[in-house]
């Protein structure tokens, strides 16, 4: 099958391209701008793409996967609709073609998803589970952002951003996780959400998809508790407060009596580590093994995703890091 991806340079869509290629499909794409690390991944897999959205570059594909950065009035979108060509969103395609029958471990939350998902994938890899994964950044331990294996376990970064111009539900509603982490919950994405309550509504849609024998892992956050009050049908597990030892920087801390020594710093990374460790424990990885694995965790190559909606301002720290007043990602 020939799959053509509009918005292929995005961290999610580029990762989707890798998985589609592993399934044996012919994969092509197009985007306004294609930059590392996605360009490097696509080139390494011999996935061809064109720059810009020119109707003459649109192939006669079997199905078009349309990224959420594209909207009506885009010339290629208009052509696909006029031709009545088959099209879908990336999240829906992934759900229908890949995630059916998998034990999905989803990392959601306003911040920390990429890091925590990368940590979880590495823990499962170290424990011999050979997981499939799709992450919004290049996990340095794997040197790719996505892969598909014969394992029943699939780790995914579960984004609350909308699915497509024709599906305004959050992408994560399509994933149907059995293990769900909600890392945190704050107001964000002001371009599509009017309030924190709007985001909480989408998270409650996600909670509705977790089976009764599933598990929702979370910190003790008032915003998350408000979502639970809307109704919950699964077991929940509150994360403990990280137990610091030796130093206050977070390069060494305790998890259920096990010492974790690693190269990362800061309370946010400790929180991400706890989320990953407890998610792994849900499928049988003990705390000691997880702490040992994270001692070898190499971090994530995360850069702005230039394929998404315009005029989104980065947080101050990231504006300083990338030397821009405003970047799209």
pLDDT in tens, 153-182: 999 999 999 999 999 999 999 999 999 999
Residue 15 makes CB contacts below 8 A (sequence gap 6+) with 134, 135, 136, 145, 146
Q: Pick from 93, 126, 150: which residue ends a domain?
A: 93
Contact assessment for residue 287 and residue 127, using Cβ atoms and an 8 Å cutoff: no
Where is average pLDDT lowest: 5-19, 236-250, 282-296?
A: 236-250
Give tens-digit pLDDT for 64-98. 999 999 999 999 999 999 999 999 999 999 999 99
For the segment 282-298, the average pLDDT, to the nearest whole number, is: 96
Query: What single DSSP character describes residue 305?
Result: -
Contact assessment for residue 162 and residue 168, using Cβ atoms and an 8 Å cutoff: yes
- How many Cβ atoms are within 10 Å of 198's Cβ, its own excluded? 12
pTM for this predicted structure: 0.89
- 322 in a structural domain: no
Q: What does the angle CA 123 – CA 127 – CA 132 come to, to the nearest 5 degrees?
A: 65
Counting the structural domains of the chain, the total is 2
Quick one: pLDDT band at residue 307, thresholds 50, 70, 90? very low
Quote the pLDDT of residue 126.
98
- 258 in a structural domain: yes
> Is the pLDDT reported for residue 324 higher than 80?
no
Residue 311 makes CB contacts below 8 A (sequence gap 6+) with 191, 326, 328
Structure tokens at 42: 């696509």
> Is the pLDDT reported for residue 243 higher than 60?
yes
Residue 62: give the domain boundaries. Answer: 2-93
Contact assessment for residue 82 and residue 61, using Cβ atoms and an 8 Å cutoff: no
For the segment 262-268, the average pLDDT, to the nearest whole number, is: 85
- 307 in a structural domain: no
> Is the pLDDT reported for residue 266 higher than 80?
yes
- 126 in a structural domain: yes
Contact assessment for residue 42 and residue 146, using Cβ atoms and an 8 Å cutoff: no
Query: What single DSSP character describes residue 121?
Result: H
Q: CA nearest 18: which of 120, 136, 115?
A: 136
Structure tokens at 171: 């992408």
Quote the pLDDT of residue 308.
42
Quote the pLDDT of residue 250.
63
- 168 in a structural domain: yes
């Amino acid at each position: 099958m020939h799959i053509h991806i509009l918005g292929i340079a995005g961290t999610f869509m580029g990762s989707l391209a890798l998985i589609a290629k592993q399934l044996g499909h012919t994969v092509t794409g197009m985007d306004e701008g294609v930059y590392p690390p996605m360009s490097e991944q696509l080139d390494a897999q011999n996935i061809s793409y064109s720059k810009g959205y020119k109707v003459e570059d649109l192939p006669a594909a079997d199905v078009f996967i349309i990224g959420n950065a594209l909207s009506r009035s885009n010339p290629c979108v208009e052509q696909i609709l006029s031709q009545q060509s088959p099209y879908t969103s990336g999240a829906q395609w992934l759900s229908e073609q890949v995630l059916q029958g998998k034990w999905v471990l989803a990392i959601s939350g306003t911040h920390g998803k990429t890091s925590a998902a990368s940590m979880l994938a590495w823990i499962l890899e170290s424990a011999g589970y050979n997981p499939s994964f799709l992450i919004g950044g290049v996990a340095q331990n794997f040197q790719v952002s996505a892969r598909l294996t014969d394992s029943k376990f699939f780790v995914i970064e579960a984004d609350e951003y909308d699915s497509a111009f024709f599906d305004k539900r959050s992408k994560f509603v399509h994933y149907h996780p059995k293990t769900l982490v909600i890392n945190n919950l704050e107001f964000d994405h002001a371009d599509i959400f009017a309030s924190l309550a709007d985001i909480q509504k989408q998270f409650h849609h996600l909670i509705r998809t977790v089976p009764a024998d599933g598990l929702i892992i979370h910190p003790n956050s008032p915003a998350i508790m408000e979502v639970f009050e809307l109704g919950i049908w699964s077991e929940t597990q509150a994360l403990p407060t990280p137990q610091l030892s030796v130093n206050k920087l977070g390069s060494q801390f305790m998890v259920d009596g096990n010492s974790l020594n690693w190269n990362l710093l800061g309370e946010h990374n400790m929180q991400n580590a706890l989320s990953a460790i407890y998610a792994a424990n849900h499928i049988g990885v003990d705390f000691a093994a997880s702490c040992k694995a994270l001692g070898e965790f190499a971090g994530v190559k995360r850069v702005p995703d230039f394929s998404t909606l315009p005029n989104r301002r980065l947080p101050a720290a990231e504006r300083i890091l990338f030397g821009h007043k405003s970047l799209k990602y």
